[in-house]
Amino acid sequence: MKISKSEVEKIAHLARLEIEDSQKEKMVEQLGNILQYIDKLKDANIDGVRLSSGAAIMNNVLREDVVEASPGPCVTLANAPDRDDDFYVVPRVVK
C-alpha cells in the first residue's frame, strides 16, 4: 500500500507533530514499508491455528452492585491530616 506526502502531513497534523519538508519524503518511504509488511501479514496462512490468548476471547467480568451503608465521616476522615467537621481541609491551590 502506498502512502502519499499529503497523508503523511495529515497524520503528522493529527499527532500534533511538526515534520520538516526534508523529513516528509523519508516518512513516506518508511510508512510505505511498514504498510507493505502489514499487507504481507494478510496473506499468512492461519488455517488450523488455534487462538491462544488475547482480548478476543476474554469475557467482561463484573461484580454485582451491592448497596452498603456508608461508614460515616468518623471512619472516612480518621486519617485526614486536617478536617473541619465532616470535610477534608486541603491547602489552597488557586489564588
DSSP-derived 3-state class of residue 28:
helix
Distance, in Å, from the CA atom of 80 to the CA atom of 83, rounded to the nearest integer, reads 6
Over the stretch 7-24, which tens digit does the pLDDT of each residue have? 999 999 999 999 998 899
User: Is 73 part of any domain?
Assistant: no
User: Is 31 part of any domain?
Assistant: yes
Rg (CA), the chain: 28
The pLDDT of residue 56: 62
Q: Residue 8 is inside which H or E element, if any?
A: helix 5-14
- Estimate to the nearest angstrom the gap between the alpha carbon of 3 and the chain centroid: 25
User: Is 58 part of any domain?
Assistant: no
User: Is 29 part of any domain?
Assistant: yes
User: Is 93 part of any domain?
Assistant: no
Residue 54: which pLDDT band, with cuts at 50, 70 and 90?
low
Domain span including residue 35: 5-42
Take residue 23 and report the three cell numbers written for it. Answer: 523529513
Q: Is the pLDDT of residue 52 over 90?
A: no
User: Is 28 part of any domain?
Assistant: yes
- Non-local CB neighbours of 22 within 8 Å, separated by 6+ positions: none
User: Is 14 part of any domain?
Assistant: yes
User: Is 50 part of any domain?
Assistant: no
Q: Is the pLDDT of residue 51 over 90?
A: no
Domain count, the chain: 1
The pLDDT of residue 57: 62
